[in-house]
Structure 1
């Protein structure tokens, strides 16, 4: 009798046609669904990146040809939903996206090429505690904040703010730690309450980045292209926000700061410290729309979600190697004319990824003890072929020892990243903290 009841309960996750049902699944149901997907499809991998304040796992499903580990030349992409617990459309859309990808792999050519060329990470809910406390109100539902009453999208380190408490919520620390384990190239976080694609920067301190009311990032042209890709592939977004209580957005996009200043935001943190270009997608006028609206919202966003993923193949990728062909970790790969607050570095595999629009670019590649390499490349449009331009930079050892590059700036060390706080996650002991601080210093002086 128990097994029969359990089968009936699990069966409610899908409709009679076998596809994922359009409704709001609670946290227990979402976990069951993700586990079932992971057990069914060998091109998926499920893991938890941490826990919420109330102890709920933050489950990430990875999809790709080799989901359990990074492979050379395969860019890492992520979607994050439900950061604000009462903004629930992104949570639903990411579950539907998982269903679409798993059903389409090896049968749908676009899905197959995406998953063969990209490792896709999907965090359905960053704030499960907030979701569970939400009520079904269009705009004024409780549940926006986490269990501690903190807005998670105001809790990240901010390169433009001097008022840094360093007190990171568990969910935020989980994201920050996650970014250290994967070299993410492109990302989007899904919200609700408007219909627009917002791009960095979200904040400013009135420096040179502040131009005509916008806070302009060094990769502004790429960020605008990313936002427009989503907006124009979406069925309505490019027409401007049609929500009754919101402003119109030309072409369905906006600079984050121009819309409203936002300190401690996740997309700026990804871009400045994670080398990951991220935009914020506002996907519905109602934060918590009736379930009858969900099929239409999926239809409006399905193609855009896929098209945006494909943009991970913009630009150029490859490795930085020494004269013997060994990969160099922490080599700086900079594009002339783009002075990022934190210069882009190679990862532990010596890999780099730079999202760039088609054109000619001069690269400056530096590593201590090696000659500076300047090289100009012609970059094609990679998404059509599902691959950025592949180019390796090979450095020659310098005859005399050379000092480390004057950059990165002090802002490249996020404040209080390693500060141990109470909670469900185990904290580092004093020796662990000391070792990590030493490693950070060595990294930033280019000794590692």
Structure 2
């Protein structure tokens, strides 16, 4: 009897410990790379739920959802139906070899442009399938409404949107959170606090595919769709001392703005009684380590949100139209925000007029954004209604800083950087000469030079000034003609 009482108490406290983590925790035995109770290393949570019973329950709920084969077919059909504004490609395969298909949507799909790129992905956790359905609905809506709807047209023409409907197709087939190796992919990324997570030999193929994808393309912002709660989550996801507390990133204001944009565009997310304004800092809600969100921001300059799009992880298929209606404007407004907000521009050399792969920093924000190699374009997301000191810098060039007032829209700000002057050798006029030149001889030489060439020198200076003015005028005209970013309020050249 005593043993039974002890076991009952243990089970009771276990249930309390896992009561509020359904969205970011797990529901069955699962290998997670991260912290546990102040310890590091590999660990598992074993909740008292039969995996077989859970599978049968979800198998029943899966009716009406696309299978992986049906999703792949839909993606390929989309590429044919909307080939004028899209293309498809695979970033790799799952453990079981299923392709990780991506749909790119743009008026120039597959071409590199000086436009911001945004990525959306879903089904990172196999038992959270709503996002994969929503993202295909989003892709189809953009296709059907391009040139008919203003927002659809704006997104297609000004943004390169990449959509990965399922990151974990094996987990979906198995009706479980982890992948085929039963690893939680949202604990599998390198982590700033948990360095033991940085062993690439232990990384899952789906995680490697995402990391390689991010290295090959420059994404400005991103969102990952999850289920089990209704909230927009932003970095940091963990804290240095692993405690549950608000842990702000350098761009906390900007992340709060982006999360609020999604929440306020949603039918009822911002009305949440659990999360003020329908948004939350990850570490404040439920700290995790090895998450994809923080890795994107730290290592690839990509502002990522984790979007919990519904309280129910796996609702009945009949609820999908309502969930699409709830999240549609939130998704569209978030994607459009990468071009409709922040400061954008190009960085060029004053000497050659060519693009520079320089960097942009903002005073009092310890975070640097790099410009693109080909166009020298940068896209710096910032919270609106504030003043910022924006600095462009690059080794070998003089830095340049401009103060801006960023209102509710985006601003274009181009930089023309001047090369630093190279140190000049002070050469003696007689250096290298086989003669005995004294100081008097040097002065006589200079007097002759000055007397004979004074007027010529003045003329050359005047001509140089005129040519400089003509060059700068042509450079500004060239900048205006070559700009590829549209939809912004005005362009300023610094």
Rounded to whole Å, the distance in 2 between the matches of 1:251 and 1:368 is 43
Q: Which residue of 2 aligns with 1:6?
A: none
Rounded to whole Å, the distance in 2 between the matches of 1:104 and 1:238 is 27
Q: What is the 5 A alignment of 1:96-175?
A: 96-134=137-175, 143-164=176-197, 165-166=199-200, 167-175=202-210
Can you list the C-alpha shifts for 1:80-130, whole angstroms capped at 9, x where unaligned? 100001101111111111121111111122211221111111000000010
The one of 348, 370, 379 equivalent to 2:373 is 348
The one of 205, 214, 218 equivalent to 2:240 is 205
Q: Which residue of 2 aligns with 1:306?
A: 332
Query: Would you identify which runs of 4 or more consecutive aligned residues in structure 1 move more than 4 Å?
Result: none
Q: Does residue 390 of structure 1 match 2:390?
A: no
Can you list the C-alpha shifts for 1:214-242, whole angstroms capped at 9, x where unaligned? 1101111111111111111111111116x
Q: Does residue 49 of structure 1 match 2:91?
A: yes
Q: What is the 5 A alignment of 1:320-335?
A: 320-323=347-350, 324-329=352-357, 331-335=358-362
Rounded to whole Å, the distance in 2 between the matches of 1:126 and 1:365 is 36
Rounded to whole Å, the distance in 2 between the matches of 1:145 and 1:69 is 35
The one of 262, 267, 274 equivalent to 1:235 is 267
Q: Which residue of 1 aligns with 2:81?
A: 40
The one of 258, 280, 294 equivalent to 1:254 is 280
Rounded to whole Å, the distance in 2 between the matches of 1:390 and 1:215 is 31
8 Å CA contact 1:196–1:253 kept in 2: the answer is: yes
Can you list the C-alpha shifts for 1:242-283, whole angstroms capped at 9, x where unaligned? xxxxxx111111001100111111111111111111111101
Q: Secondary structure at the match of 1:391?
A: strand
The Cα shift of 1:206 comes to: 4.1
Q: As a proportion of its length, which structure holds more helix?
A: 2
Q: Which residue of 1 aligns with 2:224?
A: 189
User: Computing the radius of gyration over CA atoms, which structure comes out larger, 1 or 2?
Assistant: 2
Rounded to whole Å, the distance in 2 between the matches of 1:372 and 1:120 is 32
Rounded to whole Å, the distance in 1 between the matches of 2:365 and 2:193 is 18
8 Å CA contact 1:315–1:380 kept in 2: the answer is: no
8 Å CA contact 2:239–2:245 kept in 1: the answer is: no
8 Å CA contact 2:363–2:390 kept in 1: the answer is: yes
Rounded to whole Å, the distance in 2 between the matches of 1:375 and 1:110 is 31
Q: Which residue of 2 aligns with 1:440?
A: none
8 Å CA contact 2:359–2:369 kept in 1: the answer is: yes
| TM-score normalised by the chain length of structure 2 | 0.69
The Cα shift of 1:213 comes to: 2.1
8 Å CA contact 2:93–2:206 kept in 1: the answer is: yes
For these two proteins, the number of residue pairs brought into alignment is 354
Q: Which residue of 2 aligns with 1:265?
A: 291
8 Å CA contact 1:231–1:237 kept in 2: the answer is: yes
Rounded to whole Å, the distance in 2 between the matches of 1:126 and 1:377 is 40
Q: Which residue of 2 aligns with 1:78?
A: 119
Rounded to whole Å, the distance in 2 between the matches of 1:215 and 1:250 is 16
Rounded to whole Å, the distance in 2 between the matches of 1:49 and 1:216 is 32
The one of 306, 316, 325 equivalent to 1:280 is 306
Q: Secondary structure at the match of 1:215?
A: coil
| TM-score normalised by the chain length of structure 1 | 0.76
The Cα shift of 1:399 comes to: 1.9
Q: Quick one: structure 1 residues 23 and 303, their matched pair in 2 at CA, closer, same or farther if it must change by over 3 Å?
A: farther
Structure 2 gap ranges (5+): 1-62, 424-494
8 Å CA contact 1:60–1:124 kept in 2: the answer is: yes
8 Å CA contact 1:198–1:253 kept in 2: the answer is: yes
Rounded to whole Å, the distance in 1 between the matches of 2:371 and 2:383 is 20
Q: Secondary structure at the match of 1:145?
A: coil
